């Protein structure tokens, strides 16, 4: 009985391994622009060079604060109803 359970577990592990190792046919061949994926138009762009990191930090902080204010306003609006 233990041997059968162990063989079934080994079969499941093997199938999962094969599934993970198989090539993904939907994967894009080219490079992916990380700024273009799932981002709002007003999201700060990620800097390419090191000298833009400080400004990016400031921009991101401002963006986070503005989004928090929007969510707080939406929450207050929802609570009024």
Question: Does residue 78 surpass a pLDDT of 60?
Answer: yes
pTM of the model: 0.48
Q: Which of 38, 36, 42, 46 is nearest to 67 (CA)?
A: 42
> What would the pLDDT profile of 15-53 be if each residue is shown by its tens digit?
999 998 887 666 555 666 655 555 566 788 888 888 999
Q: What are the extents of the domains in the chain? A: 49-81
Output the pLDDT for position 5. Answer: 96
Distances (CA, A) of 1 to 4, 5, 8: 5, 6, 11
Q: How far apart (Å, rounded) are the C-alpha atoms in residues 1 and 35?
A: 54
Percent of the chain with pLDDT over 90: 57
Distance CA 55, CA 65 (A): 15
H-helix or E-strand spanning residue 76 = helix 53-80
């Amino acid at each position: 009985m233990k041997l059968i359970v162990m063989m079934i577990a080994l079969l499941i592990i093997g199938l999962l391994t094969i599934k993970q190792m198989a090539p993904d046919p939907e994967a894009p061949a080219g490079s992916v622009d990380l700024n273009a994926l799932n981002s709002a138009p007003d999201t700060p762009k990620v800097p390419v060079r090191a000298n833009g990191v400080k400004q990016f930090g400031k921009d991101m902080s401002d963006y986070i604060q503005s989004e928090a204010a929007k969510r707080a306003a939406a929450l207050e609006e929802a609570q009024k109803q």
